[in-house]
Structure 1
């Protein structure tokens, strides 16, 4: 059944709703109340920003946390899914999951506005060559044992990309020796039947009371990164492979944001006719997520000049204000939008 409310499409699913693509996310919720859903929207948007940018530190970038508080504005629709499991005591347990769909164009505009990096779509699907030694000798995890690799596959999905797996034929199973000794060339040769030419090699083994995994990420024959993950829980040690692969892909393929550098920019605002207009402008700028501070510089009839401290460039600020009705860019001002020069970028207060 499709329900519509607050401009959002909601469907309480019986057909296993699931996130599809980089602009959708799944988050666990305690209940289906409005308050819990609003908080979940913020977590879901952060997950989507991580998918789109590839940057797991996106939340720390200027203006992001303020926009997360407005996550509802970016939502296209949402579904609930009820998952049944078994608790540690063996009793049935239930988890409610919120599946959120965001409007792609709005998220892309947000990424551009905040000057965040972008990770071009479609994201590649490296092949996971994972060997596990639980004490009885190393064995390759192929498609037939996909559940054994579930944690690393799910973590890759949470980071915005997918991992493929080898079919697990006899020749591939024999490659466990190459994986264990780190022979990336041998694994790359065996992986030529798959696309793209990227491999994530992992060897997971017991270490004392826990587990340790050594990882190597290879792109077209070149080793991009090596790292290690360890945890008392084998699933968490395994998930570290997806995080390292996502970081390597981000470093290699993400494009820097184009909004300009953070700094203090001179802004001229036309249409300021008195105290009421100034208070309206100041109140608006106080709510703009990429504005850190404003300092009035000079005033004349109809015009106010400010020094505005931004978390990104003034080009991103222009994109932000042009989305609403309070301020609008005045074109052809002759300014360099990516410099901190005193030359002012000009805007007009709406309604004047």
Structure 2
């Protein structure tokens, strides 16, 4: 007697997903048989490209690195931070490898469509160094995998999306991966299906009790229903019984309304679990530069500092036959600046023993 409701739910969700598929009105990527290039972790990213030319690929590397940094730090606005914007121009230097994937789909008119995706794999150690040098926050791995308790009402009453209806939640699951974490689905047994009313009421205690069989004790509650403009979703992220965030998404496209659940969850989890960047706070730091002998040396130093992403502004303070003193406005601490310049051959840190313990941070200009 219990099997019949499960068949009914599966049938209903199948129709719902088909309806969402048609409502989208845009091309849908479809996997084809065989090995496919795909992003596998936070240091990988996928971006669409118009062609496979060098120029288009280099521009795509910039977008891909911005996505990877968003995954690694958990901050979706990281690409707009001072210093990061400038360093993204060097995205090619962080690439470990790349591949192309052709996705075949069907447009709203029914005609076949094709989309080229560039899959980029970045050098983990160098990207980690970039995150550290910029003083960016870090969302540690492994990351929690909340259970998604999603109820959908298309007008005939709310139903729970369980493992048997995974495709109905594909957009929110995929968006979570793009944000650097994963969501799980409940099994969808009879007791869990009956609890969809608790989702609708926002009864976090009832859902937490059902979630006790899953780990970790984090739940993402979502209720998606039709409204005059298309679809409306209310979301709530609960961690150990504490509500970390509430938000709402709406869109004519049900899949977009669903995907917003992953974005809100990522923002809340980042706020809760991310660690602050190290290397010191942003600010103005006094430095001494040795090895400035003539105007040519000064111009070479000025040109170099102008290209260092961690430096926002340079102000000369004093000059002598021994050293040039500068005030550097940095996006993170002086220790991170020292790490950054130590990667090249233009400037090299001078130890305290050589520079004097009470002196400002000291660097020596290398040979031209």
Q: TM-score, normalised by structure 1?
A: 0.92
- For residue 78 of structure 1, the aligned residue among 98, 107, 111 is 98
Distance in 2 between the 1:263 and 1:223 partners? 35
- Of residues 247-256 and 291-300 in structure 1, the stretch that sits farther from structure 2 once superposed is 291-300
What secondary structure is seen at the aligned counterpart in 2 of 1:188? helix
* Corresponding position of 1:105: 125
Distance in 1 between the 2:74 and 2:242 partners? 20
* Corresponding position of 2:311: 291
The alpha carbon displacement at 1:189 in A equals: 1.1
* Corresponding position of 1:330: 350
Q: TM-score, normalised by structure 2?
A: 0.88
The alpha carbon displacement at 1:278 in A equals: 1.1
* Corresponding position of 2:271: 251
* Cα deviation 1:161-192 (Å, max 9, x = unaligned): 11111111111111111111111111111111
* Corresponding position of 1:9: none
The alpha carbon displacement at 1:14 in A equals: 5.5
The alpha carbon displacement at 1:226 in A equals: 1.0
Distance in 2 between the 1:103 and 1:122 partners? 19
Change (3 A) 1:104 1:345: same
Are residue 314 (structure 1) and residue 334 (structure 2) matched?
yes
- For residue 58 of structure 1, the aligned residue among 78, 97, 104 is 78
* Corresponding position of 1:274: 294
* Corresponding position of 1:131: 151
Gaps of at least 5 residues in structure 2 are 1-32
* Corresponding position of 1:339: none
The alpha carbon displacement at 1:292 in A equals: 1.8
The alpha carbon displacement at 1:335 in A equals: 6.8
Distance in 2 between the 1:335 and 1:297 partners? 20
The alpha carbon displacement at 1:32 in A equals: 0.7
* Corresponding position of 2:366: 350
Are residue 115 (structure 1) and residue 135 (structure 2) matched?
yes
| Structure-to-structure mapping, 1:166-205, within 5 angstroms | 166-205=186-225
The alpha carbon displacement at 1:331 in A equals: 2.2
The alpha carbon displacement at 1:34 in A equals: 0.6
Pairwise CA RMSD of aligned residues?
1.6
Native 8 Å contact 1:335 1:345 kept in 2:
no
* Corresponding position of 2:51: 31
Distance in 2 between the 1:17 and 1:41 partners? 16
- Structure 1 runs (4+) greater than 6 angstroms displaced: none
Distance in 2 between the 1:124 and 1:99 partners? 25
What secondary structure is seen at the aligned counterpart in 1 of 2:285? strand
The alpha carbon displacement at 1:302 in A equals: 3.5
Distance in 1 between the 2:252 and 2:356 partners? 60
Distance in 2 between the 1:334 and 1:36 partners? 50
* Corresponding position of 1:236: 256
Higher helix fraction (1 or 2): 2
Native 8 Å contact 1:271 1:348 kept in 2:
yes
Distance in 1 between the 2:158 and 2:196 partners? 7
* Corresponding position of 2:167: 147
The alpha carbon displacement at 1:334 in A equals: 6.8
Gaps of at least 5 residues in structure 1 are 1-12, 337-342
The alpha carbon displacement at 1:207 in A equals: 1.1
The alpha carbon displacement at 1:262 in A equals: 2.1
* Corresponding position of 1:262: 282
Are residue 301 (structure 1) and residue 321 (structure 2) matched?
yes
